[in-house]
Amino acid sequence: MNDPEPNDKPKIKQPPVLFARTQAVIQQVSHLLGGPLITYWNNPRGSVCSNDVLALYEILERLGQHDRIYLFIKSDGGSGQVSLRMVSLLRQHCRKLIALVPLECASAATMITLGANQILMGPTAFLTAVDTSLNHALSPVDRDNDRVSVSLDELNRVIRLWRAQQADSVENPYKSLFSYVHPLVIGAVDRAESLSIMLCRELLAYHIDDEAKAHEIAATLNSKYPSHSYPILLAEARKIGLSAAPLPPDVNALLLELNRLYSEMGQKATTDFDEIRAHGNEILNIHETTDLQIYFQQDKDWFYRSEERRWITMNDNSSWRRIERINGRLRKSIMHVA
């Protein structure tokens, strides 16, 4: 066998798609629960995004109407407004929605659970606060020259600390803050927090008629916790008024196995050409139910532009992809989502 030429590019790596194995686990979970299961899983580099709504719509159209639907969620969060749209779709297809949370269910993913009649949490599960952070076009940049998210809670804490240490000063603290954070960013973040509370109340209204109770839960999730990633465990979820209960051990074990399979699908498949050029293939978001899996695969070249200290992308073939079983045969296709 001849050695490859020095200029030959290596074969592009592809992430595995484990449809047969994930389907087997979904069937077991559905059998144990006595109802249909929908899974929604994010890679740590994926997020709750607007295109998830269209993917979920395809899943629900296949599933049809049911008295009760179970939703497995594993996500680090994303857009709270998308959470409301996803829950709205789910509630149009069922009378009761049960959220299954075996692992992290953070930020906007926590918002999705607020729209469920009940949240079943495993031993390693946690929700988080939903206080809003915003990545604005005028946000500060980090050492890699990327825009960073700014949260209202962080800004308020800076102001309170400044005033506590400068109690005798009449100087406006915002004057110093504006040199680091643009005033339009501060205004946008303030508006985003009001939106976050409103979204939580709308989601809770699907199953809580008491407006005062819904507002109290929403306010707690938005302002009580000192960290956006503070883990809200089962006992704390019950304490703040959520309808939370333990996830049955056999179901939890199967969902952890499903997460392991999705994690294998979501591994980075990076092909390095040299120090500044590479090709990345990675599955970021996955939706699945019986006989249908829809996932978003990032598929593009990366080039490091040293003068800007950042990676840029080229030849982007990223897309939503669909695998379905029809009459015992598998069919694969691309979902064209604008």
Please tell me the distance from the alpha carbon of residue 162 to that of residue 172, in angstroms, as a whole number: 10
Q: 0.85 exceeded by the pTM?
A: no
pLDDT of residue 143: 67
Domain 19-129+225-269+282-297+318-335, classified CATH 3.40.50, yes or no: no
Q: For residue range 165-211, list pLDDT tens digits in order.
A: 776 666 777 767 777 777 777 666 665 666 788 889 999 999 999 99
Tokens of 32: 């144990």
Q: Could you tell me the pLDDT band of residue 4, with boundaries at 50, 70 and 90?
A: very low
Beta strands in the chain (DSSP E): 37-42, 66-74, 94-101, 104-105, 118-121, 126-127, 133-134, 150-151, 244-246, 269-272, 277-289, 292-305, 310-314, 319-326, 329-335
Q: For residue range 98-150, list pLDDT tens digits in order.
A: 999 999 999 899 999 999 999 999 999 999 988 666 565 666 777 666 676 66
Domain boundaries, the chain: 19-129+225-269+282-297+318-335, 133-189
